[in-house]
Amino acid sequence: MSAGASQDLATQPITSRRDPRYEVVMYRHVGVEGAHTLDYYRSHGGYEAARKALAEMSPGQVIDEVKASKLRGRGGAGFPTGVKWSFMPPVDGRQRLLVVNADESEPGSFKDRYIMEDDPHQLIEGMIIGCYAIQATKGMIYIRGEYVKGYERLVGAIREARDAGILGRDALGTGIEVDITVHRGAGAYICGEETALMNSLEGLRGNPRLKPPFPAQAGVYGLPTTINNVTTMTSVVHIITRGAAWFASMGTDDSKGTKLYQISGPVKRPGVYELPMGATFRELIYDLAGGPKEAAKGFFPGGSSTPPLPWTDDNLDLPMTYDAMAKAGSMLGTGGVIVIPKEKDIVSAMYNVVRFYAHESCGKCTPCREGIATWLPKMYQKLLAGLGTREDLTLMEEMVRNTRGTAFCPLADACAMPVQASFTWFRDEYEYLVDNGQPMYTKNDWWDA
């Protein structure tokens, strides 16, 4: 938003749901009975975008449109999607693949789940467009094993789509071949990391791979592969329907479009909310989720891997964008806001987070396997047992510093960075705990049973 001369309201970007120009498009069917069926989807304009892309545009034009929309991947990394698609090598006769990462294991993220359960056709349509754009005849959805209902809905929707000729050798009657299969994961967060996902798809251990080579060069079975998040694909449907300009009319310079944000923790109405990018935390937490039910002291902006921020007006008024979060010393991630209540001890809360990463560490590399998965949780246990010392705090900080940037994949950083932020913003609680042998606030104990 530029300062100075008056703006024409019509050309100002849309950054709030309150803006009358804003319309919820991706999430509008979720929660509606029967919305997962093909009939419902088609009666609400479904597959028109796919037909338009396949029949009226070339693959290159689809990529250009997505580039122009400035869509950034919704899986957490925020890489520009059109650019990622253009990394695919020229067609050379080898099978090309579009893989959709539906592993959604980031604590605080659950947007993909409801899309797959209640609006699976939107994902399928997005994949048809995506496959066409990168000239892949096969799409594969890797869905976390725990999403049983989502899996069943997806499989059902794919069956409907095949029967109706929407998928298959002659997709939508355009002569283009596109088909989709669904593969279930088996309970590993690390399989949401794209290279570990590919290994898991191939039936290997879910350990991440070296990059380079990148998936576009050598992906699943060494074939050219593009990997995208579920709601990146659903965004594509609407970009094709309404145009790149429409998409780019929402959001800020660096973060464009409409996005599904999530909010959990002690708020009145936790859930998924679709908002234009650039909307503030305040809008999400208060206007949409009804505000916290009790006093809050901090929040994770985008899932447990993002460093938590203290509960201040300045922070609450920050726009939920990639750049703003980076500037604030955190990350947008998947936009899964987790509210931290004041009365919950931060050391205990962080131990809960650390337990997750310790459990999910794949074990490939030393700093994560020994640091994150072994030493760090034991240090937290020591603190919470009332046996910690100030020296232990220094040791933990040093240990966590040694895992930053040294591990094979970002999982170690995903644990280390929030821990470091908790020391930055809430060190007083750590110190209280070691000095007094008791936590400053209530601690969790549901795992001690």
Residues that bind another protein (CB under 8 A): 188, 190, 204-206, 210, 222, 358-367, 369-371, 373-375, 378, 382, 395, 399, 402, 404-408
Residue 373: Cβ-neighbour burial (10 angstroms; 0-12, 13-18, 19+): buried
Give yes or no for a contact between 125 and 49, defined as CB atoms under 8 angstroms apart: yes
CB of 385 to another protein, least distance (A): 12
Residue 333 Cα distances to 14, 223, 262, 283, 432, angstroms: 21, 28, 11, 18, 31
Q: Considering beta carbons, is residue 12 or 394 the nearer one to another protein?
A: 394
State how far the Cα of 195 lies from the Cα of 182, in Å rounded to an integer.
Answer: 18
The answer to whether the Cα torsion of 334, 340, 345, 346 is positive or negative is: positive
State how far the Cα of 10 lies from the Cα of 12, in Å rounded to an integer.
Answer: 6
Q: Considering beta carbons, is residue 62 or 407 the nearer one to another protein?
A: 407
Q: Amino acid letter at 373? A: A
Q: Considering beta carbons, is residue 206 or 439 the nearer one to another protein?
A: 206
Q: Considering beta carbons, is residue 216 or 407 the nearer one to another protein?
A: 407
CB of 407 to another protein, least distance (A): 7
CB of 136 to another protein, least distance (A): 21
CA-based max dimension of the chain? 72
Q: Considering beta carbons, is residue 290 or 329 the nearer one to another protein?
A: 329
CB of 335 to another protein, least distance (A): 24
Q: Considering beta carbons, is residue 44 or 382 the nearer one to another protein?
A: 382
Take residue 194 and report the two structure tokens written for it: 């794209």
Q: Amino acid letter at 328? A: A
CB of 413 to another protein, least distance (A): 9
Rg for the chain, CA atoms, rounded: 22
Q: Considering beta carbons, is residue 290 or 405 the nearer one to another protein?
A: 405
Q: Considering beta carbons, is residue 141 or 400 the nearer one to another protein?
A: 400
Picking from 146, 138, 136, the residue whose alpha carbon sits closest to that of residue 102 is: 146
CB of 361 to another protein, least distance (A): 4
DSSP secondary structure, 298-324, as one string: EEESSSTTSPPEE--HHHHTSBSSHHH
H/E stretch holding 124 reads: helix 120-134
3-state helix, strand, coil in the chain (%, to 5): 45, 15, 40
CB of 395 to another protein, least distance (A): 6
CB of 188 to another protein, least distance (A): 7
